[in-house]
Amino acid sequence: MDIRFEQCETLKEKPDESSLGFGKYMTDYMFVCDWTKDEGWKDARIVPYAPIELDPSCVTLHYAQETFEGLKAYRREDGKIQLFRPEMNAKRMQRSNERLCMPAFPVEDFVQAVREFVKVEQDWVPSAPNTSLYIRPFMFATEHALGVHMATSYKFMIIGCPVGAYYATGLDPVKILVEDELVRAVKGGTGFTKCGGNYAGSILGQVKAEKMGYDQVLWLDGENRRYVEEVGTMNIMFKISGEIYTAPIDNGTVLAGVTRDSMLHLLRDWGYKVNETRLSVDALMKAGHDGALEEVFGTGTAAVISPVGELRYKDDEVIINDMKTGELTQKLYDTLTGIQWGRIEDKYGWTQVVE
């Protein structure tokens, strides 16, 4: 893929690395590529970051034909920049797009576009501990026409923003509300895809949880409101009597997280028995009361790992590991972030240097 480059006249001032937050400061450039039914993908370009013009009848604004990805570029101690398993994001986006009847962007082109984008924006990859450049590839229909159909034109774009260390003062266990009414995904739906619509539908659960004093929602399966699936926008894992449990991804309702897959690799390597199986909320709460529930944590690119300290389901409540970060949770966090930031050797071949 040839990528055209259009230089900015002036560059933005870089924000202070101690107050980056998440998604507040966009970099100078964006990657754009257009697709039409007749011509396929064309005019890949990296151009100055700027608003885009859409017709009010653009189908995305009405029917949410949109998918996205999320990954990071990490600055190592030797100054080099690396990516973590970007081809997994490329393949996942293809699966999302297939479900939403959107065109596939080739895996090699996706990885090339991310690499070129990061090269252009290398000065935006922060170097303070545990900061990174968050990369957001996304695709949406651009056709204007109000009929519901597979659109005849799409845009694939990549934008980026430097993000701060997720944990300023060490891992911080969160309080979770098990949502027993609203659902995130059903079999046959779009639960396994990263599409904007899934997120729109999940905000109410988050608002409800926050109103009740909880940080996040634990989603149960849509059919039975019984099996645990995901926490907020993360995959979730449990350590029960020394074994690991997490929801299977072959049901079509759980997102196949890159972090999830990487952690399961590490856990199996360390000799843990990993059960990718459905776990009922009743069994979970019982394990909590019996003292068998040793650790609970969410996994995702943004936070890497998010320890769970408290679970509430209807009138029942369990505290996990005294509200403290578990030993295994900490070890997984240290190992994965160690590989991602190049502090420890990557014997899995997960990282690739960009510049």
Ligand X SMILES: *Cc1c(COP(=O)(O)O)cnc(C)c1O
Residues at the contact surface with ligand X, assessed by CB under 6 A: 70, 194, 230, 233-235, 255, 257-260, 299-301
Least separation in angstroms between residue 4's CB and ligand X is 30
CA neighbor of 198 nearest in space, from 186, 211, 210, 181:
186
d(CA 298, CA 309): 11
Tokens 């944590």 belong to which residue? 297
Q: Which is nearer to ligand X, 299 or 325 (CB)?
A: 299
d(CA 133, CA 122): 9
Residue matched to tokens 């000799």: 271
Bridge partners for 135 per DSSP: 71, 160
Contact 187, 222 (CB under 8 A): yes
- For ligand X, which is the closer residue by CB, 96 or 325? 96
Q: How far is the CB of 349 from ligand X (least distance, A)?
A: 18
Q: Which is nearer to ligand X, 90 or 328 (CB)?
A: 90
In total, the chain counts a number of residues equal to: 355
Nearer to ligand X, 142 or 253 (CB): 253
Give the 3-state secondary structure of residue 32.
Answer: strand
Burial class (CB in 10 A: 0-12, 13-18, 19+), 209: buried
Q: Smallest distance from the beta carbon of 306 to ligand X, in angstroms?
A: 11
Q: Looking at beta carbons only, is 35 or 227 nearer to ligand X?
A: 227
As measured in angstroms, the least distance from the Cβ of 256 to ligand X is 8
Q: How many CA atoms lie within 13 A of 114 on its CB side?
A: 31
Min dist. Cβ of residue 300 to ligand X (A): 4
Closest approach of Cβ 302 to ligand X, in Å?
Answer: 7
User: Which CB atom, from 29 or from 138, has the smaller least distance to ligand X?
Assistant: 138
Q: Provide the Cα torsion 19, 20, 25, 29; round to 10°.
A: 130
Euclidean distance between CA atoms 136 and 140, whole angstroms? 13
